[in-house]
Amino acid sequence: MPPIAVFYDPLFLEHETGEHPENKRRLVVARRTLVDSGLDLEWVTPESAPVSAIARVHDAGYIESVRKLAEGGGGWLDLDTAVSPRSYEAATLAVGAGLMAVDRALETGQKAFMLVRPPGHHACRSRGMGFCLFNNIAVAAAHAFEERGLERVLIVDWDVHHGNGTQSMFYGEPRVLYFSTHEAGHYPGTGMAREIGSGDAAGYTVNVPLQAGEGDGAVLEAFESLLAPLARAFRPQLLLVSAGYDPQSGDPLGDLRFSRASFQWMSARLAQFAEETGAAGPLCFLEGGYVPEMMADSVVATLIGLGGEAPAFEPTVGAAERADVRETLEEVRPYWKAAF
């Protein structure tokens, strides 16, 4: 098995956001921590994605507007989402990392971590928001369908914020099973349990909104009671992860209480799902996480888990965690009768 690939380029640091929570120090610290970790990693320099690949999920006019804004010196897409002179280049490079990772995973079985910015899971078809310009993970999934001929992709999103952009792009697409744990009622206000997909894809969007203060018990319950049977029934060919580190206890942009060990356990469990179902991946795309040192340590834990080393993980699952997962289960069970 090849070493885990980490996609990185110094250009990502030139997406300038100043003192914004999503700033270049996140990657500086994470890269240094990974280099010092002693893990067997392959550092890969990505290539920029062509506009044609990005346009599979984004409107051409929106893509062009981001390019022009950057070329004109930068500005803001909304109150939270900055564009600097080199942001367009960084964003197309971040997308390109995912395309390369998908190809490598399908050809060699290599797992990967996209140490990239700007992040992506809030970016919608014609609108950037929530610190995101282009939806890196959605473009990767579309590439898997259009260029590699895949028919089933599982996207797991464990960021504290719901990935509204990713959900919206695949809400009517039964080739994607989208599974998200996130803080209930938090930005951007989407991701309720009743949001389950539409048409032939009803039941293929699975949202598990968690109450503030919930942590590792919710992780265990959501994965074992809900995601595990769904993954076995869906049998993905590729497993992609929106890896946000803002649900970790102590992050200023969320009120969940995930531990460092939970990220190692989740990635190890996903690697096990991939092995059981014959899927390529997991391929992890960096999303949130706003305490750089804490985020970096949890990225290391994620890579250890991807390598197959699961931590001791036996958190207490309380009534609140069971109730949250049960609410989602009742919404999607009618569409997955063979799974439960």
What residues are annotated to the active site?
Answer: 122
User: How many angstroms separate the CA atoms of 7 and 303, rounded?
Assistant: 13
CA 292 to chain centre: 18
**Phi, psi of 278, deg, nearest 5:** 80, 20
Neighbouring C-beta atoms of residue 89, cutoff 10 Å: 17
Classify residue 21 by its DSSP letter: S
Given a contact cutoff of 8 angstroms between Cβ atoms, the answer to whether 195 and 284 are in contact is no
**Nearest by Cα to 279 from 270, 287, 288, 267:** 270
Residue 307 structure tokens: 């390598």
Distances (CA, A) of 322 to 156, 161, 214, 226: 19, 20, 11, 11
Q: H or E stretch including 280?
A: strand 280-286
DSSP 124: B
Strands lying side by side in the sheet with 4-7: 41-44, 4-7, 112-114, 280-286, 238-243, 153-157, 176-183, 205-210
Task: Give which of 287, 231, 300, 210 is closest to 261, Cα–Cα.
Answer: 300
Inter-residue contact 65 to 115 (CB < 8 Å): no
Residues 225 and 268 sit within 8 Å (Cβ to Cβ) = no
Separation of alpha carbons 24 and 87, rounded Å: 12
